[in-house]
Each structure stands twice: as structure tokens, then as C-alpha cells.
Chains A and B, each alone.
Chain A
Amino acid sequence: MLAYLVRRLLYAIPILIGVNLITFALFFIVNTPDDMARMQLGVKRVTAEAIAKWKVERGYDKPLFINAQAAGAGVLTDTIFFAKSARMFVGDFGRAEDGRDIAREIRTRMGPSLAIALPTFILGLMVTISFALLLAFFRASPLDFWGVVLCVALMSISGLFYIIGGQFLISKLWRLVPISGYSGGLDAWKFLILPVLIGIVSGIGSSARWYRTIFLEEINKDYVRTARAKGLSELAVLFGHVLRNAMIPILTGVVVVIPLLFMGSLLTESFFGIPGLGSYTIDAINAQDFAVVRAMVFIGSVLYIVGLMLTDISYTFVDPRIRFE
């Protein structure tokens, strides 16, 4: 397995360079360094000299990818792309365009993002799997029928509606929890309960339907019949046998998102005033802060690669027949 992991890690390097290259190209097609300077310096009373100085100081006065004026390796290394990318591969994200330290900002904002994402993910998984197993257990009954109808209804509603509707009903009309805001420590629960609840409810529809289909495929197989014939209770059959054998497709969709929980949720964080990484990314895009956008895309790519590797590893735990060669 070690050889497999090393090979995957080596594959990751060109992927990350490629992602970085694409981010670079896309960003600079839309924004020139002059545009970035103007965005940072403001539009009032900014002189061409001030823009030139800003670019020199931030290293945006160089060519983007190829420096024809440089000699030797400098043709590639004395460029914006190289100067801004190389340090990221050793975990140095540098400063945002407004001069603030990106790594520190990420560390600070990771907590609030995880505070929402983790409970939403874990509780959501528990609820949807239980609900899907329930539907599978009562298959072809009115409960199953109405359960599926409910799932279709839930997945047909936009995520924004859940947020606004939840804030309106629970916070405004019933005044049970704050509408928005965030606080560290133990006080955080009252700010998290609503976004977590909304996150779970909005995710039930699609996930439960998908899991129900997987469970229904499994539930009529011979090993299930054998388990029942052994006299096992239906709970033991469902959770001990059906769920375990249906884990491969579930893990494929679930494990890959675990590392990405760090990245936060753009919409939820924005509406609930949660100072997480999702809103950091959106703010950076709005402010044309290339340093932050680049860092967040890079971290997102790394986490996605890690997630895929974890998914592969998790297969070996749930299905001993799987071997990495």
C-alpha cells in the first residue's frame, strides 16, 4: 500500500502544478496586475506612479509565464507564475494583497468552518443513512412511498430557500435562536444549531434517495436472506450486513468530501455570518485578491487529492478483497 500511496503522491505534483497554471491563466485573463493594483489602492486619486510602485513591490511587474529578457533558468523562474507558485509547494502562502498573513487567516477561519461542517456532515450522514434504511425496511409500504415523495420534495427546493425559510421561521417568527452571528467556545452552539439543522434537512432528500436505492439492491441478496434465516433481528441485518456491504458506493461519495469540510460553505457562512473559509474565498474573489484565491484553490486541490486517497484506503477497510498493487 505504501508504494501505491507514494505513487499517488507523486501523481499529485503535476496535478497541482496544472491546477495552479489554470488558476493563474484564468485569473489573469480577467484581471491584469494593473487592475489588481487599482482594486487595492482604490479608484480615487490613484496615480500611474503609485500603480507601478505597487506592482514592483508585489512582484507583479514581471512577465506572467516567460521572461524573454532573463537568462538561463530565469526565463521561467523570473516570472510571476514561478515566484507566486513555488513557495506554495512548501506550505508558504505568503501575504494577501492587503498585506495580511494568509496562513494565519486560514488557521483562524478553519475553526468556524469546521464547527458547522463537521456536525452537519456527521449528523447528516447518521440521519440520512438511518432514514434510508428505514425506507428500505418498509419498502413498498405507504411509509416508503411518502418517504420517497418527501425526499423528492426536499431535493427539489433550493438551498437558499432552506436558509431564508429557516431564518424566517425559527429565528424571526418563533425567536428560538439568533438569526446570524458567531461566537467561539461554548456559546457557539446557539449560533450553530440553525445552520446545522438546515444543512441536515437540505441534504436529506438526495442522499436518502441514493442510499435507499443502494440498500434496496443489497436487501434482496442471498447473504441477507441467510442472515435472516439465522434468526438475526432486522436491525442487525440492516446495520450489520446490508449497510456494511453497501459501504463502497457510500464511501465513494462521502470520504472524498471529508477533507473539503475545511473549505467551508459559501452560502451558509455568508447568510449566518460565520467567519469561515467559505466567506474568505468569496471575499477574496470580490476583492480580486489573487494571493488568497490562489492559496484557497491550491488547498482545495490538495484536500481533494487527499480525499481521493482516503477513499481508496477506506475501501480496503470495508472490503478485505481489495488490494493495492
Chain B
Amino acid sequence: MTIVRLACLSLFILLASCSSEQNDPYPASERGKNILYAAFTERPKHLDPAQSYTEDEYTFTEQIYEPPLQYHYLKRPYTLIAATADTVPVPRYFDAKGKALTADAPTEDIARSVYEIRIRPGIRYQPHPAFAVDDAGKPLYIDNDRGKLRGIATIADFAHSGSRELVADDYIYEIKRLAHPRLHSPIFGMMAGRIVGLKELGAALQRAAQDQPEETWLDLDRFALEGVTRVDRYTLRITLAGKYPQFVYWLAMPFFAPVPREVDRFYSQPGMAEKNLTLDWYPVGTGPYMLTENNPNSRMVLARNPNFHAETYPCEGEAGDRAAGLLADCGKALPLIDRAIFSREKESIPYWNKFLQGYYDASGISSDSFDQAVRLNVSGDVQLSEEMRERGIRLLTSVRPSTYYMGFNMLDPVVGSRDGVGEQRSVKLRQALSIAIDQEEFISIFMNGRGVAAMSPLPPGIFGYRQGEAGIDPVVYDWVDGKAKRKPVEAARKLLAEAGWPDGRDAKTGAPLVLNLDTTSGGMGDKSHVDWLTRQFGKLDIQLVVRATDFNRFQEKLRKGAVQLYFLGWNADYPDPENFFFLLAGAESKVAHGGENTSNYASPEFDRLFAEMKDMDSGQQRLAIISRMNRLLQQDAPWIFGFHPTSYTLGHAWLHNRKPTDVGNNSLKYQRIDVALREAQRRAWNEPVLWPLAVGVLVLLSVVLPAFVSYRRRERGTARS
């Protein structure tokens, strides 16, 4: 009976060791602490501000780096405010002879725009070994050789750290880094055409990098940048070629965050990169948080920057913010959370279940968990499910500044003909398809209703977007009973017949109209999507051939203009209509110029209006031009306007001050956790269920004991028995 005794003892020990929250994935030492728990799916590729350009990366970089400007957390439409700058800079304009011009001077007269940015004194960097100095003021960790790095595995292994004040030179250094040949900043090409002298700097740095051994430090201070100069310790001046009002938005992105020269030098020492001791791995900034643990395979930890400058929670927002409790922390010093721990969750099921157990403070809603999280009521409005409401979970929604569309290649002779009669046929064909493809149905079936049908390239929240009758696409919709109603298929069939394809057949030859859609094998290439699309085209008796391929081949086809129809989307860099309309500007044509206009749409009228609109300040005049541009696009229909996705986020009752922000991502500093409530809820939700253990042991015993008895009997039995 020794086995039975041992089993009972093991079971007793096992049961005794099971406490409440046995499934807590975090160390017990973290309980009761002011920590936000979140998850990330994709490991950030870059944390260097000159390279980082995706939302996954901004989740981290925007908490660490501080560009001169930021977006107001609560106000909508999105409003730029100062971050480290003392105010939002107003450009001064000069003509080719250097004569100052007024703000309303004609764009063609403006040769240069000058932005003078003054940084607030007293802002200090996070503690970092790059700033550590000895008693004589000499840097402690410069001129290291590989031997001195023995025993150093992470940035925390350096015994000393220091800090220093933020100065204008740090911003200048970072702007120069955009031209660094080894960094491959994604915006270098674009900014080289804007910032005076940046292109020349890029060429000079390229030559210098070739002349010196690989992986040696390239001191950017040795190279002048004509368009970016230091006025005084706290002021820098940026000179742009021509007029570019959208430049201020770039000043709110990490590309323009400060990087101190000594940090660049520190990380450029031999042996550093081999240990992942780079700015790309351990960012250095003046922001509210610093990255104290970087294991992008498992978890990343942001901790409060002890040197963060004075900044308080906003006291004004948009209508409804007060009622939503978003102004309750007005005037409180930021940040409100001490640490943020981001764990990597590659699969949606564990992520969702840990959120329901209270181990993540917020979560998105994957398609797997959509039905569990929300319900659509009879009027089509989205509501939280009963289970979510019982848990006190809140639902936050916002329409993202993105647009998805099916584009026509305007170089294709069928859908994009530009010669007289042929052009009219193509236009009517495109309009007919715009009517026939039911975007509302697509949103309902494939996106669980999480989207808004697009009437133009502009999503809600972007200047120029208009609601109501004035905002509808009159080619596709009628305004009926105060709502936009898609035109009947008969209208599309009529247009198709006028185009010369009655019932989907060529009026002269009788040949069926066959169109090809190029797409990636995921997304629109999925069988369910293909079936749905085939039905939509079938409404007009048009035969659709879907050519699904991998992402690279798809991009190659777009570059060569070897597509007829394609499906794409665009996420805004900044909340300005220019950032959407440029996708259809002739100068951005993909085939001719390698730009972002994948439809290769070329309309002199549109280009003229675009050139006029992009440099204007937002106002009635600009609005009128945008309306004309929208009407032009709706008539020409180079895109079948798809949808603007809506993001759904769930937050637990203990998470406060969370407001969806799709442009500025530095929202962590505003959020607050009610730690006591979280602890209580976690305890209540995670009481372990122990009876299955006992049952398991009993089942095991019920198998093992008879086997044991049988074995003993055989052993003791005689050969005859």
C-alpha cells in the first residue's frame, strides 16, 4: 500500500500548494503594484527613431522618444500641441531672393519655408550609461574595447549611468541621422526633397561611410546640413524647399525625436552591436517611460523615467469626455502608471483568455472572440455581451484614419482607357462596378460590422470628410429618408449597357466581359472573399478572375502596372487630407514615378486641385476644393471606395482614461489603473478548481491498483495457476 500512501501524500501537497490565482502569469512580487499589463503580437522591428515607422513600433517608441510636438490626447479632430517645444512653430516664408513673404503668399512665390523650434529648457534624458561621466567630466563608457564589455549583456549591466539636459543640437543630430546610409530611414527619400541640403548630406555620408572601415562611428557633427541649423542652445531652425504645411505633423513623429551625439557614439563602439547594445534595441529618450527590459521574443518592460519633465493631464477635451470620466484626472502629473509590461502573445486564444482572467488590462477583439464579446442589436448597433457587462468591461470604438479600396489600373485599356469613346466606356464600367459591389454587405459579413462604407478617400475625423447628404458619393448612393442608400443594381446594369457591355457582353462581338483582380493570397484571396466578389461581379454578368499571389509578386505587379483591378489599403501618417489624396496624384504614379498612386490615375484637373489644396490652411476655401476633388474622383471612379475600418477595444473597469487614438500613440502616460479593484477582481475570477486533480488521481489509481494487484498475483502464482 506504499503506492497509495505516496499518491495520497502527493495529492495533499499538490492541493495545499494551490492558492488563489494559481494561474497568475506574473510574479507574486508584482501584485498590488501600479503596473499596466498589455500584449503585443508582432515583435517590433525597429526602435531607432530614424527607422521606426509602424504602429507596433510606435507603441513603444512614442512612450520613450519625444519629438517637438504631439497630438492633444482628448481633442477631436486631432490637434497638434507642443511636447518639448514651447509652442507649435509657425512657418515663415521667403521667395527665391530671400525676401520675407506673408502667410497668404501664393504657393508658387514661396521658395523656402522656415520653421524655428524652441525647446523648453530643463528637460532631461532618462538615466543611461552613455551620459555617465567620471569626476573629471570625461565620459565613462567611451573608447571601450571588446574586453571591457565582458560581463555586459544588457544596458542594465553598466554600473554607472547619467543624464543631461535636452538641447537643440540633439534634434539636429537626429535629422542628420535620417540621411545616414546605414540606417535606411524610410522617410529619407521623401524628406530629402523637402529639407534643404538633406539630399547632399546623404551623398556626403555615403561617401564617408565607404571610406572608413565598416562599423566605425560616423560622427554626423562633422557634416553640415544647410537646412537645419542651431540658433541657440534651445532653438533650431529647419528650412524647407517651397511650402509644405504638413511638415508640422512630421514634427510629432519619432523621426524627429532627439538623439544625443554621445548616445550614437556610445552605441557605435566595437562589440556593442554583437550584444544587441544599439539604439535600435535600447532607445534613449526624454519621454515619460524608458525601456528597461527588451526581450521582444517574450516581454518588453517600460518603466517610469525618473527624469521626466513636468507635464499634466489635460483639462479639456471634446464633448462627452467629461461624462465619460476622461477629465477626472485634470491637472495631475504624468505619467499615472509606474510600469507597463508588454508580453508577447502570438495566438489570439491565449491572449483573449488571459484578458478575461484579468491578466491583461485591455484587449482588441479578434474574429474568434467577436461573438463572445459583442452583440448586434435589432437596430444594428453594437453592444457588449452580457458576459462582458457583468465583468465591468468597457467597449471603446473609433473609426481609424485608414481607407481600403479596390483600385483600377488606369493604364489598362479596358478599365482605364483614356481615348475619347473608350474613356467614356471605361468610366461607366468603373461606375457600374462601384454600384454593384455592396460594401455594406462586405463590412457586415467579413468584418462583423466593424467599418464604415467609404464615400471618398477621406475617413471620418480627417478635414474634408463630410457627413450627411453633402458627403455621399452621388454616383453610388441616393439620399433616402435621411440615409445613404446604395443605388439599385439596375442602375449599374444600365451604366454597363451604356458602356457597351449589355448583360456583361460586348455589344459588338458578344464576347463576355472578363476582369482580373490581383490580390494577395490572404485577405481578398481567401476563398470566401473570392466567392463573395464573384457574386458581386455576377450581378452584372461580368466574369471575375481572381489572381491571388504572394505579397512580393503582388507588389511587383503593381510596380509594373501588370494588374487590372487590385485591392489595397492606406493608413494615414498624419490627419490631413493631403495624406490621402496624394495616393491619386499624377506625380505619385506607381509605374511612371515609383510613387504611391498604384492606380496610375492621371487627371490634370485633379492634380491642379491637389497642388492647390495641399498647401492651404484648413478653412472654407480648402473645404470647397476638397469637395470638388471628391466629386471628380466619384465621377472618374479610379477606385471603388471600400471602407474605413472601425477599431474595437475592450478595457477592464479598473483601466481609466483610455481613449482611442489612432494618430498619436503616446497615450500610455495618460492612462490610470485602479490597482485595488484589479486585485479584487483577479482573485474573484481565478479561484482554482481542484476537484479535477482529485478525480485524476482516483482514475489513475483505479487503473494502476488493479494492474498492480494482477501483477502481484501473477508473480506469486505457480506455473499451473
Contacts and interface: CB of A to CB of B under 8 A. Distances in A.
B353 A47 contact: no
Nearest to A283: B43
B211 interface: no
B689 A174 contact: yes
B478 interface: no
A176 B189 contact: no
Contacts of A316: none
A108 B343 CA distance: 17
B516 to A, nearest CB: 22
Contacts of A279: 297, 346
B711 A38 contact: no
A49 B189 CA distance: 8
A296 B343 CA distance: 25
B173 to A, nearest CB: 20
A41 B297 CA distance: 21
B543 interface: no
B345 A176 contact: no
A259 interface: no
B347 A176 contact: no
B350 A38 contact: no
Given A30-B550, A42-B53, A181-B343, A167 B22 contact: no
A318 interface: no
Contact of B186 (A41, A100, A233, A287): A41
B468 interface: no
A206 interface: no
Contact of A42 (B186, B188, B281, B715): B186
Interface stretch (B271-279, B438-446, B530-538, B659-667): B271-279
A159 to B, nearest CB: 14
A273 B552 contact: no
Interface string A170-197: 0111111111111100010011000000
A183 B301 CA distance: 14
B699 to A, nearest CB: 12
Contact of B297 (A35, A48, A143, A275): A275
Contacts of B45: 40, 98, 287
Contacts of A104: 274-276
B189 A47 contact: yes
B46 interface: yes
A191 B298 CA distance: 13
B689 A173 contact: yes
A100 B706 CA distance: 58
Contact of B184 (A39, A48, A54): A54
A287 B541 CA distance: 40
Interface string B681-721: 00000111110110000000000001100110011000000
Contacts of B281: 100
A53 interface: yes
B398 interface: no
Contacts of A38: 552, 555
Nearest to B297: A275
Contacts of A176: 18, 22-23, 688-689, 693
A108 B276 CA distance: 12
A175 B24 CA distance: 9
Interface in A92-151: 95, 98-101, 104, 108-109, 112, 134, 137-138, 143
Contact of A273 (B24, B276, B298): B298
A54 B181 CA distance: 9
Contacts, number: 151
Interface in A224-259: 233-234
Given A176-B693, A178-B25, A273 B344 contact: yes
A271 interface: yes
A9 interface: no
B187 interface: yes
A290 interface: no
A7 interface: no
Contacts of A57: 181-182, 184
B62 interface: no
A183 B46 CA distance: 24
Contact of B350 (A98, A138, A180): A180
Contact of B347 (A45, A112, A270): A270
A138 B357 CA distance: 45
7 contacts: A40-B184, A95-B273, A167-B353, A178-B354, A179-B23, A179-B353, A234-B711
The 5 lowest CB-CB distance pairs between A and B, nearest first, are A275-B297, A47-B189, A35-B552, A178-B25, A180-B350
Interface of B: 18, 22-25, 27, 43, 45-46, 53-54, 181-182, 184, 186-190, 206, 273-276, 278, 280-281, 295, 297-298, 343-347, 349-350, 353-354, 357, 359, 550, 552, 555-556, 573, 594, 596, 686-690, 692-693, 706-707, 710-711, 714-715
Given A171-B353, A172-B353, A179-B357, 20 more contacts: A35-B555, A95-B273, A100-B276, A104-B274, A104-B276, A112-B298, A164-B349, A171-B23, A175-B686, A176-B18, A176-B22, A178-B354, A179-B350, A180-B347, A180-B354, A182-B298, A270-B346, A273-B346, A279-B346, A288-B552
